[in-house]
Amino acid sequence: MTKLKLLLWALAASATAILAVFTAVGKAARVATLQADVNRLSVELSHASIPLQRDTIHDSIEVVTQVVVEVVPKKMKEALEADRALIKDLNLKVKQLEAMQTTVTETKDSARADCHNDLVFSYSDRWSDLKFSLKDSTFYYNIRDSLSTLVYREYRHHFLFWRWGTKGYRLKIVNFNPHTKVTYNRYVKVGK
């Protein structure tokens, strides 16, 4: 009888050990999945939470300043998940990219149009041409824009005229069209 009890205890201990191993393996896989989700969401949150700082030069030219998001090469694929289709259409691979920028602008303005005798309303300035004809119900528009993007390094230390170390990178976008406003910008750079 004691051998039977010993065999049952050994069988129960083996079953418990096997169950513990399967549970640990399952939990490790779940932890890895959750960690990947946390990393992806932290990258997305870092992109979404970077505010645009606005300034003006020459009384009418808007300048937007933003921090550059640096991503290690392993995380670049996660950081550019939303742009995967565009990268594929351009026949590129994510590991080929050094940096990627997305800028969204919005153009708004109101103006008085000239009315010609043949019911054609038109407006033109340096940045836009608009023409509306009631006779044939056509609307012609041409809007031009000019953006300059400058990426610069912020130094960690400076003494007199010496500067060394890198604190991070910042981005300045100069928008030359006074009717256009930069509403969103994202610049992702591959770090080391």
pLDDT digits (tens, 9 = 90+) for 142-165: 888 877 887 777 788 888 888 888
What residues does each domain of the chain span?
1-49, 53-110+138-190
Residue 98 confidence (pLDDT) above 80: no
Q: Is the pLDDT of residue 20 over 60?
A: yes
pLDDT category of residue 113 using cuts at 50, 70 and 90: low
Distance, first Cα to last Cα, the chain: 68
pLDDT confidence tier of residue 184, bands split at 50, 70 and 90: confident
Question: What digits encode the pLDDT tens for the residues 36-79?
Answer: 766 666 655 555 556 777 888 887 788 888 877 777 767 777 76
In 3-state terms the chain splits into helix, strand, coil percentages (rounded to 5) of 35, 40, 25
- The Cβ of residue 123 has, within 10 Å, a number of other Cβ atoms equal to 16
Mean pLDDT of the region 17-39: 77
**Spatial CB neighbours of 94, under 8 Å, sequence gap ≥ 6:** 76, 77, 80, 84, 87
User: What proportion of the chain, given as a percentage, has pLDDT over 70?
Assistant: 84
Residue 119 Rama label (left phi>0; alpha psi -120 to 50; beta): left
CA distance 178 to 25: 59
pLDDT score of 41? 60
Q: What percent of the chain has pLDDT over 90?
A: 0
Spell out the alpha helix ranges (H) of the chain: 2-48, 73-79, 84-89
